[in-house]
Structure 1
Amino acid sequence: MADIRTQGLQKPVDVAEYLFTRLHQIGIRSLHGLPGDFNLVALDYVPKVGIKWVGSVNELNAAYAADGYARAKGIGALVTTFGVGELSAMNGVAGAFSEHVPVVHIVGCPSTISQRNGMLLHHTLGNGDFHVFANMASQICCDVAKLTKPSEIADQIDHALRECWVRSRPVYLMLPTDMVTKKIEGARLDSPIDLSEPPNDPDREDYVVDVVLKYLHQAKNPIVLVDACAIRHRVLDEVHALIDKTKLPVYVAPMGKGAVDETHPCYGGVYAGSGSNADVAARVEASDLVLSIGALKSDFNTSGFSYRTSQMNTIDFHSTHCTVRYSEYPGVTMRGVLRKVTERVEVGKLSVQGSPTVRNEVKENYEGSETITQAWFWPRVGEFLKEGDVVVTETGTSNFGIWETRFPPKVNGITQIFWGSIGWSVGAAQGAALGVRDMGQDRRTVLFVGDGSFQLTVQEVSTMIRHGLKMTIFLIYNEGFTIERWIHGMDEAYNDIARWKYTEVPKAFGATDKQVKTWVIKTKVELEKLLKDEKFQNGEGLQLVELWMPKDDAPRALKVTAQISAKNNARLE
């Protein structure tokens, strides 16, 4: 029967080889994850197609790393085993779904025969239900494919990978052990998967463009506001083309940090409602037309929903629709509309106001002490960063502090403000650094993480060492969970953590003196000396800086947002 089923195939290829070849074709060069008996045979195919097996320390960190890899390189993937492995990864995959990050999650599962017979296998719930975890995954993935029928598997894989890319959301592939070596049509591999977005209907698109241009030409003080989904759905070229032609003032939301060249003369800073600098807030809120591109108006991204802009003065551009004031146009996506608006806008009809000058205000935030304060540190970081850096900031002080940092050109800012999983950044930084190397680029990856967050996912430092990644870690030592302290419980024990010997962590994970350099920095003078050191600036290997900051200090924006968050948490109706 096997011969009958496969004799019509032009180029028979094993399912696992087909799957991993497709991953390679869409740009994945490193595969995160952990081995388990339900995925071991499939993993034998990984090196055969030119993909490197990373070998993560646990599934949660693997998911965080795949997320970071995707943000740096475009798309990421991880492999786990059924039940115990995939559930550990689920938090990381959910974060990718929440923040529109394309991650392929492959789960090795029991054979179709075992599933059909309802066998009492390890890693199951013991109830014969082999679909329970896939059903869970369906809530945090845009496509779930159970690869159980050889005649359908190639279609399922191609469809899932296309959905992952186009919709910029995770997908879930369930690969039974007895399907790994089944033969399917390999001739399909000669044609790459079509990853192009469906075009808008020309008439509907033209109508929306005409409406947008009407309001844009009439506006007295229009601005552009760029957010996360402009990055995730890959329209930054369109954004820059628009501002280059129109010279409109452009601002970013916190999740959009890094989306716009911050040395561009039109760039005006970060807008987050009450968390914004006063000049930025005044300029944005005085606008009579906001061109909002890829907005994700979550609480922390808006400083507790404190935007003071009216929908009557807003045009929203999204990956699935556009909204002009209160009129929604479903199915008319932003890429085509932005291109035509840029092409057809009459610059002479525009009323263009100036935007604030953005710079790193280091001297203005020097308060005369040698203590390293949050207000002084983040502008000083802006003077340390280089063109092309990958900057990863952890949920907490770093996510809010980086608002005060003016980036050089081509910096990739990576944050997780919406999902906000503590410890995400350590794994994400590893994945991002690996993604940069897989692109053949010599760029620094700089991680800013608090001591509390670091303790959750510290094992990922082992993976950084193992792969010799170029990584600079600024570990903010401030004795616990600062963002939680500012929301509630400034001096409560539940916001405290154990004091670790942080600079000894890399060596505990096997790093040699050649592989790692560490510092304990307690004063501004010490930090200035380090930041100006040429070897440190080059960032070779792993560099870990334990940076002492006051326990009760926090960035201005964090304090504002935390106060609003505390009030929202206490609301009764």
Structure 2
Amino acid sequence: MAHESQDTISIGDYLLERLSQIGVQSLFGVPGDFNLACDLVEDHPNIDWIGNCNELNAAYAADGYARVKHGSIGAVLTTFGVGELSAINGIAGAFSEHVPVVHIVGVPSTEQQTDKPMLHHTLGDGRYDAYLKAAQQVTWSQGAIFSTNTAASEIDRVLTDCITSARPVYLTLPTDRVFTKIPRGKLDTPLLPHPPKNDPDTEEFALNEIQTLVEQAGSEVVILVDACTIRHDVTEEVWELIQRTGFPVYSAPMGKTAVPEDFERYGGIYVGSLSHPEIKEKVENAKLVLSIGGLRSDFNTGNFTYRTSRATTVELHSDHTRVRYALYPGLGMKQLLPKLTHRLHPLNSPASAASVPPFRAILPKTGEDPLGEEVISHLYFWPRISQFVRPEDVVVTETGTSSFGALEMPLPAKTIYVSQILWGSIGWATGATLGAALAARERGLKGRTLLFTGEGSLQLTVQEFSTAMRHGLTPILFILNNRGYTIERHLHGMDRKYNDVVNWKWTQLLDSYTVHTKSELDALLKDESFANATGIQLVEVVMDKYDAPVPLLRQTELSGQTNHYAA
């Protein structure tokens, strides 16, 4: 940079240069007196300081950014103690769902950390490592820049861990080290993921076993893709496998859009007992299931109601492979998948001719909707929205009603779908939408960013609308207003006051629309000036207080029994 000498660079600028090299163009956070070297960010030619309303939203935004900015990571900068603890829930969600985010924390000077005075933002008892210990629970690795001799190596180590593991990492930067000069030579060597290499003999043995199982299964082979297909960057390898083998492919909820949902061999969402009957039958009766990137959480498996046997399953993961009952630690799918495709392609397996029922959005016919012909029901809303979504749109759904409704919504090729099914932090989607919209703009995507959330969830993180406006973003925000926490109602306390929320006057917040009927919704979605999203827009969708998507009703019934809420 201009103010650095040719051979040296400040530690703060070294960190920013490394972030820029791995594709980070937006840095989220809130300024504080221990991280006021934000001016380095503001002066950087390739990284924008976004500036959030609070640190929790900043962490959510970094999460959403990383999910859309494929090949890069999210980055959030907070101050010591109060800032980092505010962000920690968002970082934990990223850890849970395999999302690469670096959490940079501005901390007191090295002298203060040694002498331990009773500084503000401390616990007042000298435990300067308390927040590090908290971070250790929700990050893959941690780094502390103390010595100038190791600063560059420490930054490189932590960021390499982030891009390799697809998990959050934590890095502290003391106030007296931000402007300290170090050699810049390491910047000439790019940071790349460093997954362990597969052992050739083990890999060959596993490939032989899988090929034998495929041959024995004949026409009854299916592929099931899940979240880590996306998170661990194997979508291209999986797409090659699917195209060359022609095997029927299905997705778990967290793997939605890992495969184009308008692809002729794609059959829809498998979620255990919550699945459509024809999907359930195809997956559970298969003689062999090639499971790729699975994350078998409760909401991702229909409350653990998968009916696939280990005896008929091959699991491919980022750091291990399981072939029926045999476990192969360290055998990663990134290197294994191309070789598996090469093995299976010439087989001309009968599975390539197996029928795959099309995954289609079907609007209810006259008389089929129990809520009537004009009330906006979930039975109508999600298939209708499916027709509104365009290629390269980014679709963000809030945990609960929206994420379950979206399971019924086929999306066109090149759509990016973003949801938080495992961690499920209420309000996450609004902050994530900010990050997702920025990442989409940086990638040059031609589509829009669409948020689907409830009026209860939105009230937790609504402040980030102002951040989106400040940065010229133009998402369309669909607010499903059903007067409360619908998923919680169906779990427990259908008419309890704790599941009610204050009804805000949403139309006074932004350029807004309120739709009460199917006709009004349909007319709005057909309006080209609205659909083209040239400015930020809010749509209040008024729905029945007790209506919910069918998958949500099934899931809450199962969860209620598991939680022993059911009588």
TM-score normalized with structure 2 length? 0.96
Deviation by residue 1:101-142 (Cα, 9 ceiling, x = unmatched)? 000100000001001101110000011111110111011111
d(CA) in 2 for partners of 1:153 and 1:46? 22
Q: Distance in 1 between matches of 2:393 and 2:369?
A: 25
Q: Following superposition of structure 1 onto structure 2, how do residues 145-294 of structure 1 map, counting pairs within 5 Å?
A: 145-220=143-218, 221-294=220-293
1: CA distance, partners of 2:161 / 2:544: 46
* Alpha-carbon displacement from aligned partner over 1:62-84 (angstroms, at most 9, x marks no partner): 00000000001031100000000
Q: Could you say which residue in structure 2 is the equivalent of 1:436?
A: 440
DSSP-derived class of the 2:156 partner = helix
- CA deviation digits over 1:305-342, x for unaligned, max 9? 11111111110000010001111100000111111110
What is the CA distance between 1:571 and its match in structure 2? 8.2
The answer to whether the Cα contact below 8 Å between 1:520 and 1:545 also exists between their aligned partners in 2 is yes
Q: How does 1:33-52 map to 2 (within 5 A)?
A: 33-52=29-48
**1:241 to partner: Cα distance:** 0.5
8 Å Cα contact 2:105/2:171 also seen in 1? yes
Q: Which residue of 133, 136, 151 corresponds with 1:135?
A: 133
Which of the numbers 426, 429, 449 marks the counterpart of 1:425? 429
* Equivalent residue, structure 2, for 1:325: 324
Contact 1:66 1:428 in 2 (8 A): yes
C-alpha distance after superposition, 1:378-429 (max 9, x if no partner): 1111101001110000001100000111111111010000000000000001
Aligned match of 1:103: 101
The one-letter code sitting in structure 2 at the alignment partner of 1:497 is V
Question: Residue 79 of structure 1 contacts residue 108 of structure 1 at CA under 8 Å; is this kept in 2?
Answer: yes
| 8 Å CA contact retained: 2:196, 2:330 | no
Q: Secondary structure at the match of 1:144?
A: strand
Contact 2:252 2:269 in 1 (8 A): yes
How far does residue 196 in structure 1 lie from its aligned partner after superposition? 4.8
SS at match of 1:79: strand
Deviation of residue 185 (structure 1)?
1.6
Contact kept, 8 Å, 1:479 with 1:499, in 2: the verdict is yes
Deviation at 1:42, TM superposition (A): 4.8
Matched-pair contact (CA < 8 Å) for 1:59–1:85: yes
3-state secondary structure, aligned to 2:149:
helix
Q: Matches of 2:322 and 2:457 in 1, distance apart? A: 38
Query: Structure 2: how far apart are the matches of 1:42 and 1:472?
Result: 30
Instruction: Report the Cα distance in structure 2 between the residues aligned to 1:351 and 1:371, rounded to whole angstroms.
Output: 43
TM-score by length of 1: 0.95
Q: Is 2:434–2:468's contact at 8 Å kept on the other side of the alignment?
A: yes
Structure 2 counterpart of 1:123? 121
One-letter code of the match for 2:376?
Answer: I
Aligned match of 2:513:
519
Q: Is the 8 A contact 2:364 2:379 kept in 1?
A: no
In structure 2, C-alpha distance between the alignment counterparts of 1:498 and 1:226, rounded to whole Å: 40
Aligned-residue identity in percent = 49
* Amino acid across the alignment from 2:175: T
Per the alignment, residue 530 of structure 2 pairs with 536
Counterpart among 57, 65, 70 of residue 69 in structure 1: 65
Residue identity opposite 2:325 in structure 1: Y
Runs of 4+ that moved beyond 4 A = 364-368
Q: How far apart in 2 are the matches of 1:531 and 1:548?
A: 15
Q: Which residue of 2 aligns with 1:480?
A: 484
1:359: how far off? Answer: 1.0
1:495 maps to 499
C-alpha separation between the residues in 1 aligned to 2:453 and 2:38? 35
1:16·1:42 contact (CA, 8 Å) conserved in 2?
Answer: no
Structure 2 counterpart of 1:537, which letter? Answer: A
Q: Which amino acid aligns with 2:126?
A: G
Q: Would the aligned equivalents of 1:14 and 1:183 in 2 still touch at CA under 8 Å?
A: yes
Q: Does 1:381 align with 2:377?
A: no
Q: 1:78 aligns with which of 64, 76, 87?
A: 76
Partner of 2:549: 555
Supply the AA of the counterpart residue of 2:466. S
Q: CA offset at residue 282 of structure 1?
A: 1.1
Tell me the distance in 2 between the aligned counterparts of 1:469 and 1:53.
15
Structure 2 residue 28 is matched with structure 1 residue 24: no
Matched residue type, 1:388: E
**Alpha-carbon offset, residue 347 of structure 1:** 2.7
Alignment check: 8 A CA contact 2:248 2:351 kept: no
Instruction: Please say if residues 391 and 413 of structure 1, whose CA atoms lie closer than 8 Å, have aligned partners that are also in contact.
Output: yes
Contact in 1 for aligned 2:393/2:449 (Cα 8 Å): yes
Q: RMSD across aligned C-alpha pairs, in angstroms?
A: 1.4
Q: Which residue of 1 aligns with 2:359?
A: 358
Give the gaps of 5 or more residues in structure 2.
Answer: none
Cα deviation, residue 92, structure 1: 0.2
Query: 2:111 aligns to what?
Result: 113
Aligned-partner Cα distance in 2 for 1:349–1:275 = 29
CA deviations 1:278-316 (Å, max 9, x no partner) are 111111111111100000010011111111111111100
